[in-house]
């Protein structure tokens, strides 16, 4: 049996999709798993912020269309690129074991966030990272940058930045850990929903493929991201809003932390809930409601009103 896997054609996307293909091959040695590398609108337009061109769903639309047409059997996405609501025709059936979910700093002089000079210029394309950085260090100048990992690392020099913030998972999957200056504590920068995890998406009615894919599902990761995505879905979050969440397992308990902030970081709300992992989605919603009680709705309304 031959299974076609759709992936973005960036170096990182191909590398992480190949890891999944290799894991599937180990479980099904008689099957053929072929990568189909695709260009998405989010990849092609790199001179504008995602919020200006339609949001993070732009990294998956073309791949989902290929899935719908039957040109591919399986789509692999970075989970943080997948909107909290996907079309009814599709289903995320599995998540392999999550990589490091943290944000990291790469700085020009190998200085930590606390060591950077007053007014240092930091590059990031994420409103979530921007808001949390400015909340922690209001003196920083945060500059918007886009592009794949190596492009953003080059911008450290080409745009005269003092540092950039990236996801640890991408650097570690590329074997570039040596470039990392500092892993940022979640107290400073809470990760994006699903950061470090991969989403294996198929057509909902493709039962034979679902049975194959479920073989490599990591239950711990799946439960954690279910809570995070339920949190995001309740708040109707997108890349236009500074929202972060991270769920971690402690035995049979799931601890979920969430954050909502104003774009300038002047207001930042946090909350944490704990409960049974079997109630992951309910925990995510409970967390969202706690932040709403703290005033998250007002922050979200202000951001939407300013768009």
The per-residue pLDDT for 219 is: 96
Torsion angle, alpha carbons of 173, 175, 176, 178, to 10: 130
Please state which of the ranges 28-32, 37-41, 129-133, 169-173 shows the lowest mean pLDDT.
37-41
Give the model's confidence band at 50: pLDDT under 50 very low, under 70 low, under 90 confident, else very high.
Answer: very low
pTM of the model: 0.90
Task: Provide the pLDDT for residue 60.
Answer: 84
Contact 125, 144 (CB under 8 A): yes
Choices 3.40.50.970, 3.30.160.40, 2.30.30.40, 3.30.565.10: CATH for 219-307: 3.30.160.40
User: Percent helix, strand, coil in the chain (nearest 5)?
Assistant: 40, 25, 35
**In whole angstroms, what is the distance from residue 105 CA to residue 280 CA?**
30
Return the higher-pLDDT residue of 84 and 122.
Answer: 122
Q: At what angle do helices 149-158 and 11-27 cross, to 10 degrees?
A: 150
pLDDT at 292 over 80: yes
| CATH 3.40.50.150 matches 103-183 | no
Please indicate whether residue 47 or residue 22 has the higher confidence score (pLDDT).
22
For the annotated catalytic residues, the residue numbers are 81
Residues of the chain within CATH 3.30.160.40 domain(s) are: 219-307
Do 194 and 225 contact (CB within 8 A), yes or no? yes
Which of 22-31, 32-41, 154-163, 286-295 has the least mean pLDDT?
Answer: 32-41
Confidence band for 240, pLDDT divided at 50, 70 and 90: confident
Q: Which of 161, 164, 159, 157 is nearest to 133 (CA)?
A: 164
CATH 3.40.50.2300 is held by the domain 1-97+197-217: no
Question: 125 and 113 in contact (C-beta within 8 Å)?
Answer: no
pLDDT score, position 301: 87
- Region 91-116: mean pLDDT is 96
Give the dihedral of Cα atoms 287, 289, 290, 296; nearest 10 deg: 110
What pLDDT shows up at residue 81? 87
Predicted confidence (pLDDT) per residue in 194-229, tens digit: 999 999 999 999 999 999 999 999 999 999 999 999
Q: What is the Cα Rg of the chain in Å? A: 19
Instruction: Quickly state the pLDDT bin for 39 (edges 50, 70, 90).
Output: confident
pLDDT band at 61 (very low <50, low <70, confident <90, very high): confident
Asked if residues 302 and 282 have their Cβ atoms less than 8 Å apart, the reply is no
Residue ranges, comma separated, of all CATH 3.40.190.10 domains in the chain are: 1-97+197-217, 103-183
* C-beta of residue 243 within 8 angstroms of C-beta of residue 193: yes
Average pLDDT value for residue range 105-131: 95
């Amino acid at each position: 049996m031959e299974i076609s896997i759709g992936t973005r054609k960036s170096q990182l996307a191909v590398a992480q999709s190949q890891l999944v293909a290799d894991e599937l091959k180990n479980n099904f040695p008689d099957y053929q798993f072929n990568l189909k590398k695709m260009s998405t609108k989010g990849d092609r337009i790199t001179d504008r912020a995602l919020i200006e061109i339609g949001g993070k769903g732009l990294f998956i639309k073309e791949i989902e269309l290929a899935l719908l047409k039957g040109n591919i059997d399986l789509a692999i996405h970075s989970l943080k690129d997948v909107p909290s609501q996907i079309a009814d025709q599709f289903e995320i059936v599995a998540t392999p074991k999550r990589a490091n979910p943290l944000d990291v700093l790469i700085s020009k002089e190998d200085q930590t966030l606390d060591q950077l000079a007053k007014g240092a210029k930091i590059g990031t394309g994420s409103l979530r990272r921007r808001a949390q950085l400015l909340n922690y260090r209001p003196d920083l100048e945060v500059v918007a940058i886009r592009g794949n990992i190596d492009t953003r690392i080059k911008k450290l020099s080409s745009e005269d930045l003092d540092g950039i913030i990236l996801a640890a998972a991408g650097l570690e999957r590329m074997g570039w850990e040596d470039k990392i200056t500092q892993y940022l504590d979640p107290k400073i920068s809470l990760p994006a929903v699903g950061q470090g995890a991969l989403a294996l998406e198929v057509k909902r009615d493709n039962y034979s493929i679902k049975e194959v894919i479920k073989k490599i599902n990591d239950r711990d990761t799946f439960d954690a991201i279910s809570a995070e995505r339920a949190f995001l879905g309740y708040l109707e979050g997108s890349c236009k809003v500074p929202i972060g969440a991270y769920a971690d397992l402690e035995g049979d308990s799931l601890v979920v932390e969430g954050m909502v902030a104003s774009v300038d970081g002047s207001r930042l709300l946090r909350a944490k809930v704990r409960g049974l992992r079997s109630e992951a989605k309910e925990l995510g919603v409970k967390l969202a409601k706690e932040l709403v009680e703290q005033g998250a709705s007002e922050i979200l309304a202000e951001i939407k009103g300013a768009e």
